[in-house]
Structure formats: C-alpha cells, structure tokens
Amino acid sequence: MNSIIENNINKKPISFELSKKTCVRKKSLTHDLTWAHYRNNNEHLSYVNNKQHTLSMYLTGGYNTFRTDINANKGAPGKFCLMPKDADSQWQVGDTQEFMHLYFDDTYIKRLALRVFDIDPRTIDLPELTFTEDLGLEALFRHNMAKANWHTNDMQLALEQVTDTILISMLQRMGNKQIKSPLKGGLSPKICVVVCDFIHANYQRQIYLAELADLAQLSEYHFCRMFKESLAQTPQEYLTNVRIEHVKHALSYSELKLADIALKVGFSNQSHMGRYFKKLIGVSPREFRRQG
C-alpha cells in the first residue's frame, strides 16, 4: 500500500458529492434515468444513496480502489458495482480512474420487471454488488454508452433503449434470487387484470377512482395503496403511461396534429400531453415524431 493511500485511509471520508471528482459528462434521459461519466483519484470517500439505485462500471483504472467498510476485491476496468437505494459504503480511490454511473429509480426498475418479465414488483430487492464482472453488460456500457454522443437530440431514444437493455440484462442475471418473502398486500392477480383491462379500454375518457375501486370492491384509499403495491405506480400514473404509449403510436403511424392526438388519447390539451410526454419519454412529442 503506497503512502498516499495509507494517509487517505486514516482520514475521515468525504462524501462523493463533495469530492474533487470531475464530471466528464452527464445526461438525464427522463426523471427516472440519469447517466454520468466521472474521473477522480486518491480520495477516501463515503457513498450514500438516498434517492436512486446506482449501477456503475469502471472504464479505466481502479486497480488500487477498494472498499474500506468491508472486505472486497479491488477494482479494474470492466468491473461493476451495484449500490441499491439507501446503501451506505466507504471507498479508497487509488490512481486516476474513469467510471460511469447509471442512476435509476426504484419504481422504474420495478415497472420494467413487471412489463418485461411479468414479475411482481414486490419481489424486486436489488442486492449490493462490489466489483463483479459481466462481459455482456460491459459490452453494452463500452460500445453503446461510453462511445455514444449523449447530447445530440437524435440519440435520445437510442440511449433510452440501450439503458433499458442494460437494466433488463441486470435483472436477468439476478434471476429470482432476490425475491422478498412472504408477499403481503396488493391486489389479487385476477383483480389486477380486471382493473388494468378497464383502464386500457377507457383511457380516452376521464376515469374516476371510484370506478376502479368498485371493480376491486375496496375503498378508494385501500384500492390506491393495493394498486401501488402490485404495480409500483399509482392508478393515475398507470393511466398516464397507457395514454403516452398511445401518443407514441399515433406520432409514429399517423399524421394527426398534436392537439388532435392529445384529445384523442384523453389529455385535456396539447400542453398537458407535452408536459407528461417530455417527463416520461425525455423528448417532446414533436421531437419524437421527427426522430421516428
């Protein structure tokens, strides 16, 4: 162990946010997904996730970087770390290294698991991983994200697709090992199907909470709580996502004006549609149509 590292370990760690790291570039795809590319060296850091999960990979360096709060391997190019939300860790950073962070919301990964694998969101419990290897994920990070231009408008959708592929790959490699048990609360699978089918059949009009609660034979309060446990989103968020999917289809396969699309799928006006579309998709409806 060289003298710089030894001296740093004896010092109180500083938070990652206040460290002398350099942010090479950063890109928020949506309010749920953000990428960041960093560079730093020779620091004793503490890292606390209090908002989102973090999946990181070392691009260069990291050979003398290790955790000081647990016994674990040292870093290296291609090594991954997964720090779930609310995880707390301490690190000694060695010589100059570059790494990328993917920040993603808990609700986003749960919805993705539900949509792609039909996995109950309540079973998703991300593990803490330190310096693991995954050649498939490394290829996605290096060739599809590290080499991409993050700031050209025509790359937005491609970056989102790669990001989803990365998170899906991460879930596949986890398998069912991180299932929480026993499962409690939530709507029954049968009621979930009934409620979701109703929303898909009536998304073009105003849907009232009382209607959905009646289908589930629950009070409005208990229905909202059970719905969110089962689907990792509120009924209104689910309805909005359904509408946005129809907006995407209309933008791709029709020449309808934006104002007409907004009314057709249940939004009160074009501005209302545009605000939610940009929040969830990362680009405006007009830009999405242009890219498509």
pLDDT 10s digits, 140-185: 999 999 998 888 777 887 898 899 999 999 998 876 444 444 556 7
Whether 59 and 97 share a structural domain = yes
Within 8 A by CB and 6+ apart from 119, the residues are 113, 171
Distance CA(23)–CA(144), nearest Å, equals 19
Do 155 and 242 lie in a common domain? Answer: no
- Whether residues 33 and 88 share a domain: the answer is yes
pLDDT digits (tens, 9 = 90+) for 80-124: 999 999 999 999 999 999 999 999 999 999 999 888 888 888 888
Mean pLDDT of 3-14: 62
Report the pLDDT value the prediction gives residue 36, as an integer from 0 to 100: 96
Residues 114 and 245 in one domain: no
pLDDT at res. 183: 55
> For the stretch 257-266, what's the b/e string if a residue is b when 16 or more beta carbons lie within 10 angstroms of its beta carbon?
ebeebbebbb
When pLDDT is cut at 50, 70 and 90, the band that residue 125 belongs to is confident
**Domain limits for position 97:** 3-174
Q: Do residues 29 and 35 lie in contact, with contact meaning Cβ atoms separated by under 8 Å?
A: yes
Residue 156 to residue 289: CA distance in whole angstroms? 12
State both tokens at 88: 């707390």
In this prediction the pTM is 0.78
Instruction: Tell me, yes or no, whether 179 lies in a domain.
Output: no
Q: What is the mean pLDDT of residues 120-144?
A: 90
- Angstrom distances, CA of residue 84 to CA of 13, 58, 87, 272: 20, 18, 6, 33
3-state helix, strand, coil in the chain (%, to 5): 50, 20, 35
- Quick check: is 182 in a domain? no
Number of domains, the chain: 2
How far is Cα 9 from Cα 91, in angstroms, rounded to an integer? Answer: 9
167 and 195 fall within a common domain: no
**Placement of tokens 């579309």 in the chain:** 277
**Which of these, 264, 272, 230, 234, lies nearest to 247 by C-alpha position?**
264
Between 291 and 276, residue with greater pLDDT: 276
Assign 156 to helix, strand or coil.
helix
Tell me, yes or no, whether 143 lies in a domain: yes
> Are residues 242 and 129 located together in one domain of the fold?
no
pLDDT at res. 122? 82
pLDDT for 276 equals: 93
Please report, for the domain that includes residue 10, its CATH number: 2.60.120.10
Please indicate, yes or no, whether residues 133 and 208 belong to a single structural domain of this protein.
no
Segment 34-52, tens digit of pLDDT: 999 999 999 999 998 888 9
Distance of CA 203 to the CA centre of its chain: 25
When the pLDDT of each residue in the chain is averaged and rounded to a whole number, the result is 89
23 domain-assigned: yes
Q: Please tell me what DSSP assigns to residue 142.
A: I
Q: How confident is the model at residue 11 (pLDDT cuts 50, 70, 90)?
A: low
Distance CA 137, CA 59 (A): 12
The pLDDT value given to residue 165: 93
Q: Confidence class of residue 78 from pLDDT cuts 50, 70 and 90?
A: very high
